[in-house]
Structure 1
């Protein structure tokens, strides 16, 4: 006696197209206070920041101060601002003898590293001897700091009365500030002093700028490879049959192989690259000979810095020119951005 089992039928639903809604994008830092799931949904177009993990920062914009009281000892005030969040401190530059200074500096503190519920902004006098002394300060409760994510309008700075050590605001002056919670997509992010640089000491600390997820300005680089002259192959008895290979960073493009064996090949082909400011890379061109079906030999090379090319925003023509190559022969190409 024998028995057999019928093989189970495959579930055809597994092979059908399905509509998915991945949670790709931004999430509110306090977990859903503005929306049931905590994820930000809007009709705005997806930005490049939606393709990376959202990183939240506490931003403090220090604009200016006014009516600061002079030091009773020196009769002057050399003011600067210190922003303190837990163990992290950021300082503005200081001014000599100025009661109405203007800083216009932004500080960004990584939310995941913040271990304090209070944001303290001190206005200090560089000439004050006592370490804990200051002209005045303003405090913010972290839980009351608003969240602002582009394309929301930037948070307008406001004037705040400065308090002294005893909490008095009389004759302390005022400071203009904006404090908000945002992501690396915020317009203020590229210019902000970053809490990760808090180990840097001295007056130079205010020059530290964050470099993470900064959108570069991109350009198209068009290279029109026209012709070459007096190209020689390694085997002097055979005329070369060549093509041009162009490279910018990791981008590599090639022209077609010249259909005939000749020392004066012609292509007139456009090779288009994407280049990012400040154009620190080079355009590297090599003229390569098809010596055999499986062998290409470099017969000439040319290296050109991208920052030497003309940039244009219109359709005016760019004149072609000849370039000397490193080994032998000459080449002509047209480069514009």
Structure 2
């Protein structure tokens, strides 16, 4: 950082050291409410894409639009029968989306997007906290207010991390025999699923899962299986 700051300080026009430190994310280990909000919204935008894709794939399965659902089922069956077409079609779709978005491409450089860094909606006190020295040079009352705010944010993060850890521990407990009944059922289900996936080709399993669009389909399948075994036994 010192080398870059010294070289850019001799440039024309010269670039200040504080600007270079900010561009190189100097003191990134220090707490910043603005950066935390910016990273949170960046992660939210990434996850929103997966949510949109899940809703897009869920819509044809509910048969809200029969034409789209029928085309989706035809394409799904083709992919199951010819899995070699999956990756080429995915890459072709991504390339098509990239070409389609060429008309609406951003006209400004990426660093001009103030919403990306959450600089357009930052509170003055949060900005003052970010540029405050370490240790803090503000009064004890301001530090107390910031500390209480940090405790509130950290408490929510702690709750989310605790919930994620709980789900992971529940999954690990399935094989730890802490709950003998749950572990026994899980082991039996794994053995049954192993036999099923060994006897039935995987693409037919995927086709069956994709064709189960409603509870009615599941009930109808169970009735058909029960009827088959009834006539087979008779």
**TM-score, normalised by the number of residues in structure 1:** 0.17
TM-score, structure 2 as length reference: 0.22
Greater strand proportion: 1
Larger RCO, structures 1/2 (Cα 8 Å, 6+ apart): 2
Larger Rg over CA atoms: 1
